[in-house]
Amino acid sequence: MKAKVTILMMLLFASLVFVGKAQNPIIQTKFTADPAPLVHNDTVFLYTSHDEDDAKGFKMFNWLLYTSTDMVNWTDHGTVASTKSFSWSPQNGAWAPQCIARNGKFYLYCPIHVKGIGVLVSDSPYGPFTDPLGKPLIQNSIDDIDPTVYIDGDGQAYLYWGNPNLYYVKLNEDMISYSGGIVKSPTKPANYQEGPWFYKRQDKYYMGYASTCCPEGIGYSMSSSPTGPWNYTGMLMDSDKRSNGNHPGIIDYKGSTYLFGFNYALSKALSPTHTERRSVCLAKLTYNSDGTIQKLPFWSEAGVDGIAVLNPYKRTEAETIAWSQGLKTSKGANGMYVTAIDAGDYIKVKGVSFEKGAKEFMASVASTAPSSLVELHLDSPTGALLGSLKVKSTGSIDNWVVQSCKVRRQSGVHDVYFVFKETSNNTLRFDWWQFN
């Protein structure tokens, strides 16, 4: 099944990427859904659920983490938690999470289908996360999915959740308990289905959500109070048959507001019928003067513009990717790396700034092939050739060696494509790179 998935995903990528525009979906090496972005220390931490490659229904065992500082290149940190993090959870059922920071700790709220909503705690946004309760925080009904959490300016934290009803509790400062009872919102919007996302901007509260199934769009309501009443305001994105489900995640970052959600673009290459293999997408929101939000069209292939350049003179992880074709990522003793590399596959890194030029390219690689080739192209997979790294065998696929090649002098800001040649699946792995 994995080989079939890889081949068909390559066909999709070829149709989308060679036009040089596509940035959505923002993750291509895995199927991702239910995006939950968190801004911390000038970095966007994107937590997602994860559909397995062979999923037909919901086959979800873990939660993943990606980070970015430019909104176009996303670094894969792999699994940050899983159903195994809870002693009371079955293997399957790792649905839509959200993470929030408070008092130097990070709280990851995780719904386990039909079991309730648990909470994991860590000293770092990267984990490891552990279960402080040993039981669900919320165990109210089969509606207990899709938690969203927000800390108001007065310090009161709120946890909302629910499908098809909308509930909330007031969390205590410890973030792992709550005061008062569970409240069922009497002003849930008529087209509310699931996937709430609760936040505040200026003096207005917002509740984004996935609208009535199926297919689901993204609607929103507004209120002057964190507990409602919620007044239906409009749609952020209309429903579209290209995306059976949806789940919004919204953040303000460096002067702009970004909306995350998902579509089924990668899955469509595998099967024309509906499967739960989803792909996270990204767009920018625009507010009107009264605080309402302008409706977006369906997820564009172009995505969003980068807001910073990438420094090529420091070590950059190979799994920092704006777009890729045919590749996978995995985790080993040295951390994450790029694998499942075949001839013709490539990685695109967007907005690389060669302000000081470059003479040399270095990469940490592991290879069992006598020789492989990594070509460095500018601005397209067939653009100007910057250099070619002839990878020599390292003796073992787990033995990492830094190898280098000379590169043509270059200036300015460019997209860099690492195009793999003369290699086949699992004879080459790619860990990190740097220009000097």
264 sits in the region (left: phi over 0; alpha: psi -120 to 50; else beta) called: alpha
Q: With 50 as the cut, is the pLDDT of residue 89 above it?
A: yes
245, 357: one domain: no
Q: How many residues does the chain have?
A: 436
Question: The tokens of 255 are what?
Answer: 């002067």
- With tokens 């769009």, the residue in question is 217
Q: Is the peptide bond before 164 cis (omega within 30 degrees of 0)?
A: yes
Q: What is the pLDDT of residues 192-212, one digit of tens each?
A: 999 999 999 999 999 999 999
Residue 295 lies in a domain: no
| Residue at a domain's end among 245, 262, 285 | 285
Question: The tokens of 197 are what?
Answer: 């996302």
Question: The tokens of 111 are what?
Answer: 């719904």
Taking the C-alpha atoms of residue 10 and residue 334, their distance in angstroms, rounded to an integer, is: 27
Q: With 50 as the cut, is the pLDDT of residue 388 above it?
A: yes
Q: What is the pLDDT of residues 4-40, one digit of tens each?
A: 444 344 434 443 433 344 589 999 999 999 999 999 9
**Which pLDDT does position 244 carry in this prediction?**
87
274, 328: one domain: no
Is 317 annotated as catalytic?
Answer: no
20, 94: one domain: yes
Residue 306 lies in a domain: no
Helix (H) or strand (E) holding 9: helix 2-17
Q: What is the pLDDT of residues 240-299, one digit of tens each?
A: 988 889 999 999 999 999 999 999 999 876 666 668 899 999 999 999 999 999 999 999
Residue 96 lies in a domain: yes
- Structure-derived torsion over alpha carbons of residues 329, 332, 337, 341, reported in degrees to the nearest 10: -60
- Domain with 23, as residue range(s), is 2-285
Taking the C-alpha atoms of residue 169 and residue 181, their distance in angstroms, rounded to an integer, is: 7
Taking the C-alpha atoms of residue 75 and residue 259, their distance in angstroms, rounded to an integer, is: 19
Q: With 90 as the cut, is the pLDDT of residue 56 above it?
A: no
Pairing of strands 98-102, 105-112: antiparallel
331, 218: one domain: no
Taking the C-alpha atoms of residue 269 and residue 378, their distance in angstroms, rounded to an integer, is: 27
Q: Give the domain CATH number at 249.
A: 2.115.10.20
**Which pLDDT does position 334 carry in this prediction?**
86
265, 343: one domain: no
For 362-429, the DSSP string reads: EEEEEE-SSEEEEEEEESSTTS-EEEEEEEEP-SSTT--EEEEEE-----SEEEEEEEEES--TTSEE
Mean of per-residue pLDDT scores for the chain: 93
Residue 224 lies in a domain: yes
199, 66: one domain: yes
Taking the C-alpha atoms of residue 289 and residue 197, their distance in angstroms, rounded to an integer, is: 22
Taking the C-alpha atoms of residue 207 and residue 219, their distance in angstroms, rounded to an integer, is: 8
**Which pLDDT does position 113 carry in this prediction?**
87
> Hey, what amino acid is at 106?
F
For residue 303, CA distances in Å to 10, 29, 219, 300, 322 come to 20, 17, 20, 6, 11
Catalytic residue among 34, 276, 317, 345: 34
Q: With 60 as the cut, is the pLDDT of residue 310 above it?
A: yes
Taking the C-alpha atoms of residue 361 and residue 408, their distance in angstroms, rounded to an integer, is: 10
Question: The tokens of 315 are what?
Answer: 């070590």
Catalytic residue among 51, 70, 194, 216: 194
241, 163: one domain: yes
**Which pLDDT does position 273 carry in this prediction?**
67
Question: The tokens of 113 are what?
Answer: 């289908």
The SS3 of residue 85 is: helix
158, 280: one domain: yes
265, 340: one domain: no
Task: Give the mean model confidence (pLDDT) for residues 422-435.
Answer: 91
**Which pLDDT does position 269 carry in this prediction?**
64
For residue 416, CA distances in Å to 73, 283, 320, 349 come to 12, 23, 12, 5
Taking the C-alpha atoms of residue 153 and residue 211, their distance in angstroms, rounded to an integer, is: 28
Lowest mean pLDDT among 144-148, 173-177, 244-248: 244-248
Taking the C-alpha atoms of residue 6 and residue 142, their distance in angstroms, rounded to an integer, is: 36
pTM: 0.94
Q: Give the domain CATH number at 363.
A: 2.60.120.260
- 404 beta partners: 362
Query: CB atoms < 10 A from the CB of 253, how many?
Result: 16
Q: With 50 as the cut, is the pLDDT of residue 172 above it?
A: yes
Is 194 annotated as catalytic?
Answer: yes
Residue 305 lies in a domain: no
Is the pLDDT higher at 16 or at 356?
356
Domain count across the chain: 2
**Which pLDDT does position 270 carry in this prediction?**
63
Is the pLDDT higher at 7 or at 421?
421
Whole-number percent of the chain with pLDDT over 90: 87
Pairing of strands 74-82, 62-68: antiparallel
Residue 274 lies in a domain: yes
Query: CB atoms < 10 A from the CB of 59, how many?
Result: 19
**Which pLDDT does position 423 carry in this prediction?**
83
